[in-house]
Amino acid sequence: YEAGRTPNPDILCNSKIKFGVFLDEAMRLGADYIATGHYARTQDIDGKVQLLKGADTNKDQSYFLYRLNHQQLSKAMFPVGEYTKPHVRELAKKFNLPNHNKRDSQGVCFIGKLDLKKFLSQKIKDHPGDIIDSSGQIIGKHTGLFWYTIGQRKGINIGGTGPYYVIKKDLDKNELVVSNNSEDQALFLSKVFISDVSWISGEPPENSKTLEARIRYREKLSPVTLKNKENGVFEVNFSVPQWAVCSGQSVVFYEADACLGGGIING
């Protein structure tokens, strides 16, 4: 966050905590598997476990699991992955579980309902700077670029005509660039570069192969081509320009129902 990125803590929580430290401890204690409530599925092909989308396309959570490898997945069970969320609620009610009508969780892993900005303010000091419009005119002040994300509309606190959308965070000048046009061309990208990649099979897809990808949870899948560059960097070309692409977020790749892996958007 301090570097101006928009990371996804839930993805790191899954790979490092739930399927890292917790899985290791469960195996040490003699468990055969761990089970979680993710809406995802697995299948074994030639001794290697693949990650599949959940049967409920509206709740599919494979995006959050892309950093797992097939060894971790071989010890994972996703019992609700074959069901829709309404069906799971029906089963919970049938078995008199008290959380059958509980609202979906929206909190960040291990932070929960705590306001994220309040949490980060304990770790990061404010770094004030100018808010400028797309013509370069100063129209306000910000308290730190790390409080904002590309495409953000609420919480910018600019008077006058609006609404305004964040279209750029200029780290060198410490300027927040905004536009009152949600379709501003600066908000759309057809090409991004990713690094810190993770492939479930251990190997990247065939170079220049057409796949599908999404840049955030529940985003519509878009056809892409993936090119392997040097030093672990991959070039991702989208057939449809993507709105509000944020450095630090993950691009996750799919072939049919199979989640192949992904990487972090460079910024």
Residue type, 200: I
Tokens representing 210?
A: 């057409």
Distance of CA 255 to the CA centre of its chain: 18
Residues 121/115, Cβ–Cβ less than 8 Å: no
DSSP state of 185: G
Q: Provide the strand spans (E) within the chain.
A: 34-35, 40-45, 48-53, 76-77, 129-133, 138-142, 165-170, 175-179, 188-199, 210-214, 222-228, 234-243, 250-255, 258-265
Question: CA–CA distance from 53 to each of 36, 91, 133, 145 (Å)?
Answer: 15, 21, 41, 35
Tokens representing 243?
A: 């709105």
Instruction: Supply the residues annotated as catalytic.
Output: 13, 109
Residue 41 and residue 46: Cα distance in Å, rounded? 17
- Residue 253: φ, ψ to 5°: -110, 145
| DSSP H or E run through 28 | helix 22-28
Residue 258 and residue 92: Cα distance in Å, rounded? 28
